[in-house]
């Protein structure tokens, strides 16, 4: 993983993720699941956001994404996992699970 991606991920893991309850409160007491997922994807570190969208929206394989963004497949897997953690963490604030 390139150094600036590692720094961004560490910031997300050690600082930003701790503030998710406050971010969740900013979208109201009972937001739609789409709003929760949208917020979660906005909050995750930039490479993870891009990788998740390339996979989920554009339906690219992990290998295609790795080639496109210039990282290895294991980094793509890590990004997808972080995006899912972000969604689960936000949705847990409202007692819902993304499906």
List pLDDT tens digits, range 23-77.
Answer: 888 988 889 989 999 999 999 999 999 999 999 999 999 999 999 999 999 999 9
Domains of the chain in start order, with CATH, are 3-92 (1.10.10.10)
98 and 37 Cβ atoms separated by less than 8 Å: yes
Q: Using CA atoms in the order 32, 42, 13, 46, what is the torsion angle rounded to 10 degrees?
A: 150
Question: Are 91 and 31 spatial neighbours (Cβ–Cβ below 8 Å)?
Answer: no
Three-state DSSP state, 99: coil
pLDDT for 79 = 95
pLDDT, residue 95, reads 81
pTM for this predicted structure: 0.86
């Amino acid at each position: 993983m390139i150094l600036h991606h590692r720094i961004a991920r560490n910031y997300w893991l050690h600082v930003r993720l701790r503030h998710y309850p406050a971010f969740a409160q900013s979208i109201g007491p009972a937001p739609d699941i789409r709003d929760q997922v949208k917020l979660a994807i906005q909050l995750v570190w930039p490479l993870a956001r891009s990788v998740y969208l390339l996979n989920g929206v554009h339906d690219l394989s992990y290998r295609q994404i790795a080639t496109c963004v210039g990282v290895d497949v294991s980094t793509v897997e890590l990004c997808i996992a972080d995006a899912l953690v972000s969604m689960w963490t936000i949705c847990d604030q409202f007692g819902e699970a993304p499906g």
